[in-house]
Amino acid sequence: MATTEIRIGGLGGQGVILCGTIIGKASSIYDHRHSVMIQSFGPEARGSSCSAQVMLADRPIGYPYVRRPDILVSMSNDACHKFLPEMKPDGILLYEEELVHLSDDERPARAWGIPATRFAEELGRRMVMNIVMVGFFAGVTGLVSREAAEAAVKDSVPKGTEPLNLQAFAKGYDYGRQLVEKAG
């Protein structure tokens, strides 16, 4: 696989950027691939929406903008509907299923939902929802190994919160693996 383009979208405060950071770091730790993350702060970035572009590749990345995401991670309904039209037809949509509402027409062939906010609340901290999504990303796509992603989580969250965040990761990871296995 030469290059994987990932778009992560959600609301400000949901931890969209940290989600991208962890995926980028994990890929780099995992197999020494190259990875780049872009945040835009331009007029399009004002307001409550927030998005990051992450690119994973086997060689240094010359053009880092994500044009046609292979993978779209959506933590809000607005972000999902904004970025879904850009996704490749065979791309993978990962979405927070209690926040994102998709009609049957809108739902792409490869779409996987997770009640990530509820899982985070069950762990006692709603704000680890983004780490549940990182786990879900790793579990469904296999693009980064569990070990690499866990190392990147530990490396990226505030000191003292590592155990909670690793639990959040495991919740998302296991749920993702189960969905994929059930689907065959």
Comparing CA positions, the residue from 35, 1, 15 lying closest to residue 168 is: 15
Nearest-angstrom CA–CA distance, 11 and 71: 18
Contact 112, 176 (CB under 8 A): yes
Kindly tell me which of 98 and 147 has the beta carbon lying closer to a copy of itself.
147
Kindly tell me which of 66 and 100 has the beta carbon lying closer to a copy of itself.
66
Kindly tell me which of 42 and 89 has the beta carbon lying closer to a copy of itself.
42
CB of 50 to a copy of itself, least distance (A): 11
Kindly tell me which of 35 and 117 has the beta carbon lying closer to a copy of itself.
35
Torsion of CA 159, 13, 83, 28, to 10 degrees: -10
Nearest-angstrom CA–CA distance, 69 and 158: 29
Residues interacting with a copy of itself, by CB under 8 A? 21, 24-25, 27-29, 32-43, 45-46, 60-61, 63-65
Specify the residue for token string 């590749």.
57
CB of 33 to a copy of itself, least distance (A): 7
Kindly tell me which of 156 and 167 has the beta carbon lying closer to a copy of itself.
156
Comparing CA positions, the residue from 177, 136, 141 lying closest to residue 153 is: 136
Contact 24, 138 (CB under 8 A): no
CB of 25 to a copy of itself, least distance (A): 5
CB of 67 to a copy of itself, least distance (A): 12
